[in-house]
Amino acid sequence: AQTVTQSQPEMSVQEAETVTLSCTYDTSESDYYLFWYKQPPSRQMILVIRQEAYKQQNATENRFSVNFQKAAKSFSLKISDSQLGDAAMYFCAYQETSGSRLTFGEGTQLTVNP
């Protein structure tokens, strides 16, 4: 079974600084999808960024970018120019291409300090 590990239960960053959240996963598949979801205090799960395993180029969405290391099974999220609104629980998630089941990590609670 696939597993997703987020080793940092909590992280903090100063406003306008950069922070990196780590995620590792275990799979025997060669093609799959990886996601970062954000869950602010409002509790809505918001898609931050998506990476397809067959694409070598790292995904980027505005201030959010990933460092995808397929051989190392690592998928970290970098948030640049952190804003107060970035404060949330961040979940890394894995999904096979042949199925719909998302496997989530335990989450990283990010605090942004003014």
Partner 1 sequence: DTEVTQTPKHLVMGMTNKKSLKCEQHMGHRAMYWYKQKAKKPPELMFVYSYEKLSINESVPSRFSPECPNSSLLNLHLHALQPEDSALYLCASSQGVAGNRETQYFGPGTRLLVL
Judged by CB under 8 A, the residue of 88, 94, 105, 108 near partner 1 is 105
Torsion of CA 90, 27, 60, 5, to 10 degrees: 20
Regarding 104 and contact with partner 1 (CB under 8 A), the answer is yes
CB distance 108 to 93 below 8 Å: no
CA dihedral sign of residues 16, 10, 88, 75: positive
Query: Interface residues for partner 1 in 12-71 (CB under 8 A)?
Result: 33, 35, 37, 42-47, 50, 52
Binding site for partner 1 (CB under 8 A): 33, 35, 37, 42-47, 50, 52, 89, 91, 95, 97-102, 104-107
